[in-house]
Amino acid sequence: MPAPPPPPSASIPSRLPAPTPTPVPNHPAAPAPRISGEISVPKNAKVLYTEVGYASWYGPGFQKRNAANGQPYDMNAMTAAHRTLPLSTIARVTDVKTGDSVLVRITDRGPFVGDRIIDLSRAAARRLSVFQKGVALVRIEVLETPAPIKEGGRWCVQIGAFADASDASHLKDKLSRRYRTAKVLQFTSPVGGDWLRIRVADDDKKRAQEVMQETHTDAGVYLVRLD
């Protein structure tokens, strides 16, 4: 049975050109990809933060492109994308229906779909029902984090995806005129669609929250931690 495609994913897109695909020989008994970057934590690790919501997964379209932590994304590593948890956070993700769990490291930002809270790598999704179903209800439990979750940090507002690049450009011009101290960037996802990112002065969380609340578009508006 062929592997299911990932659901529509919107982790922070890369502005690098799409790599040229490498032909893969059609071997029926090809070995499964090696899972790298296995994670371990002390057995007595305390849960620092809990969140429940829907998980999806992302993979081929982002493979080897730089993730939010500046390193190439590896869909065969135990990683995940989350919009607000500090980068390098280690979390346990549990499939609410099956009780199966995986440990992942937060290395990327996303998902930018309203009803999802985490985008798993393909390797992590394979351990849960997320891989076959595309989306599953999960519980996230943070076990280690390099920075406070609810305080500090550098923040921005992410808007998109826009199917029409001209719609993104129009909103970019409007936001640039409204927020003269902010930087409004427009870029294209490797899987399609244009995005905007608003960098407010000093990457201040409170100011980013205000901008998010003041911005209205059907494309989706998200508060995102940069660090």
pTM to 2 decimals?
A: 0.83
Nearest to 51 by CA among 134, 118, 130, 131: 118
Q: Do domains 49-144 and 155-225 have the same CATH topology?
A: no
**CATH architecture, range 49-144:** Beta Barrel (2.40)
The domains of the chain are located at: 49-144, 155-225
Are β-strands 101-108 and 90-95 bridged in parallel, bridged antiparallel, or unpaired?
antiparallel
For residue 152, give every residue at least 6 positions away whose Cβ sits within 8 Å of its Cβ, in sequence order, or none: none
| Confidence (pLDDT) at 5 | 54
Q: What is the DSSP string of 15-77?
A: -SPPPPPPP----TTPPPPPPB------TTPPP-EEEEEEEEE--GGGTTSB-TTSSB--TTB
**Fold of the domain built from segment(s) 155-225:** Alpha-Beta Plaits (3.30.70)
- Residue pair 120/59 in contact (Cβ under 8 Å)? The answer is no
Q: What is the pLDDT along the chain (227 residues), one digit of tens a residue?
A: 455 555 655 454 433 333 333 333 343 444 444 455 678 888 889 999 999 999 999 988 889 889 999 999 999 999 999 999 999 999 999 999 999 999 999 999 999 988 899 999 999 999 998 999 999 999 999 999 999 999 999 999 999 999 999 999 999 999 999 999 999 999 988 777 899 999 999 999 999 999 999 999 999 999 999 99
